[in-house]
């Protein structure tokens, strides 16, 4: 069992794992897409690279996903590396197709209302023009988007029903994990969990808050931060305000969460701010060289050994063990379904043939 440090565990108590590691480039925040799985025979003029129970997976589906990942800096340096990468992508799509077909046999569905809600969530940070541009960049239209969302929702339900609902972690397992990894719960320096709302006095094309709201001048920035602070003073939720109005593209989507920062990682000004706050308190407006900030102290992890009586330790270990069990069960579940499926990987056969190795070697 791989042990993770206490701060690693506490920073990601809701850490999730990709079912098949098939994350496409970030088409839109908030959803993982996979190329649409066809439910018909091969289309004339398109190369079929694999078949799952006689349903085709096309070369273009693999190439599209490969191009998306390459644009994020994972491009291959040689033709052999590219072919290996594409084999991995194709295997992911094969597994995805197997799951889609199994979900269909299990009569798992997604309602139009559920799809509408997810579409609305995806659209919210963008103007209509920006949203359509994002779709076009990925070669999608609204119908294809809805189909992919439908499949995503259906697969989520399938995994929740057949995997997540059957995973349990006992108190004894938590205690055993703690004893084996006690050193990882010895915090060497005080760590602060901080969130922020940031407003800048200049236009920023990277702003991606839910309201698509961007202060473009110093006067507008000052007015905006004052209005946000006033709202917080009257009880508005900090995370919601950050999601809707913060202009920090790296933290707005997460409710302003900056993560856990060790004391040595705080500059003098921020250290002074957090030391003046109690957990749950919000700072006054802070002016910096990049704009205005409002900070919230979400938590403090004091230096020293954290014991198993700490409910946060128990919760973090429980989530870590759940994640590990879910990963194992998902991998086995997919292999079990694959054993029941008829899979033909034409691309793999072509790679073997191109090498001169007989297809039936071994």
Per residue in 33-77, pLDDT (tens digit) is 444 444 344 555 679 999 999 999 999 989 988 887 776 666 667
Contact predicate 134/119, CB 8 Å:
no
* H/E segment holding residue 323: helix 311-339
Tell me if 230 sits within 8 A of 327, measured CB to CB. Answer: no
Same topology for domains 25-167+322-355 and 189-302, yes or no?
no
DSSP character at residue 282: B
pLDDT band, residue 19 (cuts 50/70/90): very low
Who wins on pLDDT, 5 or 76?
76
Digit-coded pLDDT (tens) for 262-294: 999 999 999 999 999 999 999 999 999 999 999
Characterize 136-162 residue by residue with b for buried, 16 or more Cβ atoms within 10 angstroms of its Cβ, and e for exposed.
eebebeeeebbebbbbbbbbbbbbeeb
Shortest CA distance to 100 belongs to which of 37, 26, 27, 194? 37
Assign domain 25-167+322-355 to a CATH class.
mainly alpha
Q: Find the angle CA(139)-CA(145)-CA(147) to the nearest 5 degrees.
A: 120
Look up residue 141 and give its two tokens. 């239209």
- β-strand partners of 191: 262, 301
What does the alpha-carbon distance between residue 63 and residue 67 come to, in Å, rounded to a whole number? 6
Compute how many other C-beta atoms are within 10 angstroms of the C-beta atom of residue 218.
13
What's the length of the chain? 362
**Domain 189-302, classified CATH 3.10.50.40, yes or no:** yes
Burial of 70 (0-12, 13-18, 19+ CB in 10 A): middle
Boundaries of every domain in the chain: 25-167+322-355, 189-302
Residue 202 pLDDT > 70, yes or no? yes
| Collapsed DSSP state (helix, strand, coil) of residue 186 | strand
**Pairwise pLDDT comparison (38 vs 188), residue with the higher score:** 188
């Amino acid at each position: 069992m791989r042990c993770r440090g206490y701060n690693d565990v506490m920073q990601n108590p809701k850490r999730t794992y990709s079912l098949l590691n098939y994350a496409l480039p970030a088409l839109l925040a908030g959803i993982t897409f996979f190329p649409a799985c066809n439910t018909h025979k091969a289309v004339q003029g398109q190369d079929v690279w694999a078949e799952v129970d006689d349903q085709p997976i096309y070369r273009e589906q693999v190439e599209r996903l490969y191009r998306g990942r390459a644009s994020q800096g994972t491009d291959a340096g040689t033709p052999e590396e590219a072919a290996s990468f594409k084999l991995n992508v194709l295997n992911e799509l094969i597994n995805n197709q197997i799951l889609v077909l199994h979900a269909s046999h299990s009569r798992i569905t997604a309602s139009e209302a559920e799809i509408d809600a997810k579409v609305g969530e995806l659209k919210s940070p963008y103007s209509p023009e920006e949203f359509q541009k994002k779709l076009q960049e990925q070669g999608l239209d609204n119908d294809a988007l809805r189909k992919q969302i439908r499949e995503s929702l259906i697969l989520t339900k399938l995994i929740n029903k057949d995997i997540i609902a059957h995973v349990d972690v006992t108190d004894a397992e938590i205690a055993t994990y703690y004893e084996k990894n006690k050193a990882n719960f010895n915090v060497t320096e005080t760590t602060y969990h901080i969130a922020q709302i940031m407003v800048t006095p200049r236009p920023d094309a990277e702003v991606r808050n839910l309201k698509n709201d961007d202060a473009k001048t110093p006067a507008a920035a000052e007015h905006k931060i004052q209005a946000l602070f006033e709202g917080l003073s009257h009880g508005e939720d900090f995370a919601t305000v950050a999601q809707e109005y913060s202009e920090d593209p790296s933290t707005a989507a997460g409710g302003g969460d900056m993560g856990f920062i060790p004391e040595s990682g705080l500059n003098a000004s921020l250290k002074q701010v957090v030391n003046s706050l109690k957990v749950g308190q919000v700072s006054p407006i802070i002016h910096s060289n990049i704009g205005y900030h409002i900070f919230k102290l979400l938590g403090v992890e004091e230096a020293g050994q954290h014991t198993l009586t700490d409910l946060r330790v128990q919760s973090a270990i429980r989530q870590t063990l759940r994640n590990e069990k879910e990963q194992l069960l998902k991998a086995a579940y997919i292999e079990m379904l694959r054993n029941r499926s008829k899979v033909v990987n034409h691309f793999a056969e072509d790679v073997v043939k191109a090498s001169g190795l007989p297809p039936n070697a071994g």
